Amino acid sequence: MRPVLKLLKQRILQVRPQLPSFPGRAARADDPAVFSFNEQRASVMDSVTRRIVSRYRTREPQELLYLLSDAANTEVRRLSSQKDAEAELEISAWRKLLRGNGRMSHDERVAALERICARMSGDVAGNFDPRVYGIALRIVPGLLTGVMSPGTFPRELVQPGWPQLDALIRVEGPVERLRRLARLGTLILVPTHSSNLDSVALGYVLAREGLPPVVYGAGKNLFTNPIISFFMHNLGAYRVDRRVQARLYKEVLKGYSFEIIRRGYHSLFFPGGTRSRSNMVERHVKLGLAGTAVSAFTENQLDGAPRPVFFVPITINYPLVLEAETLIDDYLKGAGQSRYIITDDEFSQVDRMVAFLKKVLVLRNGAVIRFAEPLDPFCNPVDELGRSLSPSGRAIDPGTYVQQGGRPVADELRDMGYTRELGELLPSVYRRETVILWTHLVAHVLYRYLVLRTPGRDLFTRQRVRDASMRRDRLDREVGLAQAKLIELEQSDRVRLGRAIRSEPPSRLVDEALEAWSGYHSKPIAVAEGDSVRMLDPNLLLFYQNRIVHLADDLATPETVKAARIIAAMGEGA
């Protein structure tokens, strides 16, 4: 990008856009808590700082010494490699702290901690403007549809309701119950993560389904687009700068999350931490933010103001993933050390975005968002009335989980134990609630054939095989067998299927997949050629089949059982 533009962009990012203060809508009693977030913003930030400061004030002075020196060291390292105006400004302060830290008294360090925390939490904290929310609801779908079919733009903009977009995102799950739960307690939405479109699609669906807006931590890189940034800032998103490695910064982020959940703001975070590079359903989740929800629950119990917390696992399922190429490249390149931040993917390229949306529109099937059964912080299912249910179906008081001798007791280690249990449960919920779509199925059958044809090769040499082809009649037959097996698995409640897999004949599924795979990605993944299907891009086949890699054993036929085992093992090792 040219320097002038870059500077301009930085300027834009530094101002916090706000709507002019004309009289807004009058507050209503049933507004979600987040509507009055801005009034509490200062107090939230203040609580974050106060909690961290009081924690370190009373601990061993050494701990604070280390915390500050860790913050100063990591920030100096980061800023000196960043080399921009922002860095210049900040780096000297950190250097000064680094020099003085050892000589400072405990009280001086506490004062420094307070300053740093206040700044960090100011940088993190979001805003919520109900007017922007209202505008977003009306305009964003229109904009999206407009982008997708420019000819209809003006008409679509003035029409209420967005039939095209509505048709593109299908919602499944206990939505009515979630609407009730949102009034009874605090929702913590924990979706799978495969695309930057996830938060946009989910945000749209929440509004469409009458679910309240949520607060969520968005990577700072999502704020680089000024328009998106404007909406993010005013829709409760807080900023997470993944470049900042300081432990203290992570404490501030967690503190912020704790504070907003404690105050009853519905929240969203992606337990996978980052988009799934391989497209496998998350097998490991990060527990930091889930932990803040458990702690917030306990805190409210201790305060004598119990407020239920409901975790809502969600799977977001795409037949095509916008950033598929970048993600799978990163996965294969990194093999375990993937880049945590990708800034130059398809999400930032407008032409790719438009091509994607057009493709999706033609397919008339953009995404399936599936809400799973809500859970309390202790992995119990929750009923219509927000009551936690035991395995025998009896309502139990979630407060008992933080009690000892009949009253609530603070115990950080215990709450961490509960968090780990949640962390173990979520991946199995994700696997069960992932909606399997025709592209996943066809990719799996093709890829399994590729593995069968390349015995003894390792992943990387196999991915370099070009132009393998599979006879179309065999492909159709194996897709049919796998489809039948999937239908059987769905009946025993182990998987969820998209509508096409349930009802369409195998040859149709193959046709649809081949159609979907041509025209959006930079080259077709597989093409029909005579009576065969030629595989042109093994990487993307791997990517799409990875969504059901955990079912490879179940879907195997006697002929393909060995290949299936190799594939299944890839999923287990990841």
Does 160 bind other proteins (CB under 8 A)? Our answer is: no
Among 50, 55, 414, 534, binds other proteins (CB under 8 A): 414
Binder to other proteins among 216, 231, 378, 517 (CB under 8 A)? 378
Long-range Cβ contact pairs of 116-119 (< 8 A, separation 24 or more)? 116/68, 116/71, 116/248, 117/48, 117/49, 117/52, 117/53, 117/248, 117/252, 118/45, 118/49
Find the shortest distance in angstroms from Cβ 385 to other proteins: 17
CB 402, min distance to other proteins, A: 8
Q: Per rule CB under 8 A, is residue 394 in the interface with other proteins? A: yes
Shortest distance in whole angstroms from residue 386 CB to other proteins: 16
The β-bridge partners of 404 are 407
CB closer to other proteins out of 406 and 456: 406
Binding-site string for other proteins from residue 334 to residue 373, where x marks contact by CB under 8 A and - marks none: ----------------------------------------
- Contact status: 418 vs other proteins (CB under 8 A): yes
User: Between residues 347 and 418, which has the closer beta carbon with respect to other proteins?
Assistant: 418
Both structure tokens of 215:
């607060």
CB nearer to other proteins: give 159 or 428: 428
Instruction: Provide the minimum distance between the beta carbon of 88 and other proteins in the complex, in angstroms, as a whole number.
Output: 45
Out of 31, 63, 108, 397, the only residue in the binding site for other proteins (CB under 8 A) is 397
**Quick one: which of 121, 194, 195, 380 contacts other proteins (CB under 8 A)?**
380
Contact between 387 and other proteins per CB under 8 A: no
Q: Closest distance between other proteins and the C-beta of residue 552, in Å? A: 14
Q: Is 396 in the site for other proteins (CB under 8 A)?
A: yes
Q: Which stretch binds other proteins (CB under 8 A): 183-191, 292-300, 388-396, 494-502?
A: 388-396
Please identify, among the stretches 194-202, 299-307, 417-425, 454-462, the one whose residues bind other proteins according to the rule CB under 8 A.
417-425
- Residue 81: is it exposed, middle or buried by C-beta count within 10 angstroms (0-12/13-18/19+)? exposed
Neighbours of 155 (CB within 10 A): 10
Per CB under 8 A, which region of 94-102, 145-153, 403-411, 516-524 contacts other proteins? 403-411
Q: What is the DSSP letter of 196?
A: T
With beta carbons less than 8 A apart as the criterion, state whether 203 and 220 touch: no
Tokens standing for residue 324: 């598929």
Which of 3, 304, 405, 558: binder of other proteins (CB under 8 A)?
A: 405
Q: Does 223 bind other proteins (CB under 8 A)?
A: no
In our burial notation (b when 16+ CB lie closer than 10 A, e otherwise), range 27-53 reads eeeeebbbbebbebeeebbebbbebbb
Q: How far is CA 386 from the centre of its chain?
A: 25
The window from 154-162, 305-313, 330-338, 397-405 that contacts other proteins (CB under 8 A) reads: 397-405
Provide the 10 A C-beta neighbour count for residue 83: 10
Q: Residue from 403, 428, 461, 503 that binds other proteins (CB under 8 A)?
A: 403
- DSSP per position, 314-345: EEEE-SS-TTHHHHHHHHHHHTT---S---SS
Locate tokens 């967690």: which residue?
Answer: 254
Residue that the structure tokens 């025993």 belong to: 492
What are 133's two structure tokens?
Answer: 């929310």
The residue within the footprint of other proteins, chosen from 102, 160, 406, 530 (CB under 8 A), is: 406
What is d(CA 569, CA 211) in angstroms, rounded to the nearest whole number?
39
Q: Which residues pair with 382 in a beta bridge?
A: 388
Q: Footprint of other proteins on residues 420-449 (CB under 8 A)?
A: 420-421
CA distances, 45 to each of 52, 125, 428 (Å): 11, 7, 35
Q: Which residues bind other proteins (CB under 8 A)?
A: 378-380, 388, 390-392, 394, 396-406, 411, 413-414, 417-418, 420-421
